[in-house]
Amino acid sequence: MAQINQSSFLLMSKFIWFLRGHKKLTGFIIFLAVVTAIRLVNGQAAFFPRPNGPGSDAVYVQLGQAYYGNMRELGLYYGTLTAPNRFTLAPKVGGEIKRIMVDIGDRLTNGQLVAALDDDEFVLARDRASLSVRLAEAQFNEAEANLKLAQNDMARQTALTQKSIVTQSEFETVENRLLQANARLAVASSQLDSASNQLADAALRLSYTQLMAAWPESNLPPETESYRYVGARLVDEGQLVTANTPILELVSLDPLLVVVDVIEKDYPKIVPGLEANIRTEAFPGQDFKAKVIRVAPVLSADSRQARVEMEVANPGLLLKPGMFAEVVYVFNEHKDVWSVDYDVPFRRSEGYVIFVADPQTGTVKQIPVELGLMDNGRVELIGVPAIDGPIVTLGQHLLQDGQPYKVPGESAEPVGRPS
């Protein structure tokens, strides 16, 4: 007996050394042993599985339903609402803020007075410039009168010279007086122009103490373009400011603008005029209409995304700049089609298939399908007949056409085409 055990041990040792030199054979033997063990545990034949199909063992599956209706190809992006016309209002001169007539949220019309600076200094400068203008006017009038006198003297001297009554030197003296009168008039005219310009400058600077809300009109409808709103008040009355210090921030609220960055896959589908729905957290369940107005002609080399600007109609002024916006594009829509949850179709060598259960016979029918649009976790089935029964949603990878099935617990009811 000991000799037999020793012989068995030597034989086993030689077999192990043999397997160490044949790795592929060793792997195949291990694989065969694992498959055999699994099938023995499941009560199946070790090497020859039973064929699937009618008469084979039933497979436990989970049943669900197919859906009939419309499918849409959507693009979902996120952005922030902004005001297309947004600017700060600042005085062109410095001084003390004497009055601010508006506050945050007030509606403004084009050209409306919104603030005033202390203007005493500018009034005095205007009055001084006005006095300078009056003095220059008087000097100009005097020079003009002297010129007329010189012109009259010149006319008389010319006539007398022709009659040889006056000498040539007397004629030249009168001629020089005429030239001097012309020069004095030119100087007086320049001084008057300079004084007038100084007065205009003083009056303009005085007008700058009255701060107006003004903006250029565009091609928008008058009822839309004629208003702006105070978005922020940046100073208080009594505060000293320098020129170009922002006082108020003005915004337009209708329409608004939303900017998103679209990925390269969706870029060819987005063109000016394409409509989208805007959703906000402030108004859940309410959609606002938007339209693409500009598409960047280039994509960022870093993100492979392109800037898209959309105009959002806001007639009720519900939307406000700074709100977070969810943008939903509808790229494509198919009506009256069958669809299932996206993980139901099972891919095999011949393509995608689904299985429809027949509760009467307790078997499944394999239906080849083509996949179409994906929407809200479901995928469209292209070219399928009406689905008049429950479909297999779990366990389809174990099935063949005509194979029996079992459902743990209560089975699903057949789902036919909606009426």
Please indicate, yes or no, whether residues 35 and 183 belong to a single structural domain of this protein: no
Q: Nearest-5° angle of CA 17, CA 20, CA 23?
A: 150
Please indicate, yes or no, whether residues 268 and 317 belong to a single structural domain of this protein: yes
Rg (CA), the chain: 47
Boundary-marking domain end, from 303, 333, 363: 333
Q: Is residue 114 part of a domain?
A: no
194: left (phi over 0), alpha (psi -120 to 50) or beta: alpha
Q: Is residue 301 part of a domain?
A: yes
| Residue whose token pair is 């063990």 | 37
Please indicate, yes or no, whether residues 187 and 260 belong to a single structural domain of this protein: no
* DSSP class per residue in 246-283: --EEEE--SSEEEEEEEETTTGGG--TT-EEEEEESSS
The 10s digit of each residue's pLDDT in 270-323 is 999 999 999 999 999 899 999 999 999 999 999 999 999 999 988 888 999 999
Please indicate, yes or no, whether residues 308 and 349 belong to a single structural domain of this protein: no
The DSSP secondary-structure symbol of 360 reads T
Q: Is residue 414 part of a domain?
A: no
Three-state secondary structure call for residue 107? strand
Query: How many Å separate Cα 419 from the centre of its chain?
Result: 41
pLDDT at 309: 94
Rounded-to-10 torsion of CA 22, 25, 28, 34: -70
Provide the b/e sequence for 31-48 (b: ≥16 CB within 10 Å). eeeeeeeeeeeeeeeeee
Q: Nearest-5° angle of CA 247, CA 251, CA 252?
A: 155
> Distances in Å between the alpha carbon of 184 and those of 101, 131, 170, 193, 197?
51, 21, 21, 14, 20
Please indicate, yes or no, whether residues 18 and 148 belong to a single structural domain of this protein: no
Sign (positive/negative) of CA torsion 203, 208, 212, 213?
A: positive
Question: CA-CA distance, 348 to 378, in Å (whole number)?
Answer: 20
Question: CA-CA distance, 378 to 344, in Å (whole number)?
Answer: 9
Q: 353 with 365: CB under 8 angstroms? A: no
pLDDT at 248: 93
Question: CA-CA distance, 102 to 31, in Å (whole number)?
Answer: 85
Tokens of 157: 């001297």
Tokens of 29: 């033997």
pLDDT at 21: 57
Cβ burial of 268 (10 Å; 0-12, 13-18, 19+) is: exposed
Please indicate, yes or no, whether residues 355 and 230 belong to a single structural domain of this protein: no
Sign (positive/negative) of CA torsion 176, 182, 184, 186?
A: negative
Domain that holds residue 350: 59-69+334-406
Please indicate, yes or no, whether residues 257 and 329 belong to a single structural domain of this protein: yes
Please indicate, yes or no, whether residues 126 and 181 belong to a single structural domain of this protein: yes
Q: Is residue 359 part of a domain?
A: yes
How many distinct structural domains can be found in the chain? 5
Q: Is residue 263 part of a domain?
A: yes
Q: Is residue 411 part of a domain?
A: no
- pTM here? 0.59
Please indicate, yes or no, whether residues 100 and 244 belong to a single structural domain of this protein: yes
- pLDDT tens for the chain, 419 residues long, are 444 455 555 555 555 555 555 555 555 566 556 545 555 444 444 444 444 555 467 888 999 899 998 888 888 899 999 998 888 999 999 999 999 999 998 999 888 999 999 999 999 999 999 999 999 999 989 888 888 888 887 777 776 666 666 666 776 777 788 888 888 889 989 999 999 999 999 999 999 999 998 887 765 555 555 788 999 999 999 999 999 999 999 998 988 999 999 999 999 999 999 999 999 999 998 999 999 999 999 999 999 999 999 999 888 889 999 999 999 998 888 888 899 998 889 888 888 999 999 988 889 999 999 898 888 788 889 888 888 889 999 988 888 899 999 888 644 443 434 43
Which residue type, as a one-letter code, is found at position 386? A
Three-state secondary structure call for residue 208? coil
Please indicate, yes or no, whether residues 10 and 144 belong to a single structural domain of this protein: no
Please indicate, yes or no, whether residues 343 and 284 belong to a single structural domain of this protein: no
Boundary-marking domain end, from 333, 348, 368: 333
Question: CA-CA distance, 241 to 90, in Å (whole number)?
Answer: 10
What does residue 303 show for φ and ψ, rounded to 5 degrees? Answer: -100, -10
